[in-house]
Amino acid sequence: MKNEIIRKCFGCKSLKPRENLIKITLLNGALIVNPESKQCGRSVYVCKNKDCIKSFIKNKGIRKGLKFNNDILIKKTEEKLLNFNVSN
């Protein structure tokens, strides 16, 4: 049996299998929304539902989790997350 990789959602703080989360990676000064988890680098995870994404954005999850302060890139990434095809 294959071991499941468990990660903590930065929005609701619950532990979930990695394939049920959206990964946001900081790589060479760029933010990558990476649901397939193929990029390496400093990352945070958020659940694939609108309420959790909204909580993540409200609580400045990218800024705090990645220790990243580029407001323009953070805003673009938050817009991508809000437009991501997720459940309610």
> How high is the pLDDT of residue 77?
93
pLDDT tens track for 12-64:
999 999 988 999 999 888 899 977 777 788 999 999 999 999 999 999 999 99
Residue 18 neighbours by CB under 8 Å, 6+ apart: 4, 5, 6, 7, 37, 45
User: What domains can you pick out in the chain, each with its CATH number?
Assistant: 6-83 (3.30.1230.10)
User: What is the Cα–Cα distance from 26 to 28, expressed in whole angstroms?
Assistant: 7
Q: What is the pLDDT of residue 83?
A: 87
For residue 88, the model assigns a pLDDT of 56
pLDDT at 76: 94
CA separation for the pair 57, 53 (Å, rounded): 6
pTM recorded for the entire structure? 0.87
pLDDT for residue 39:
78
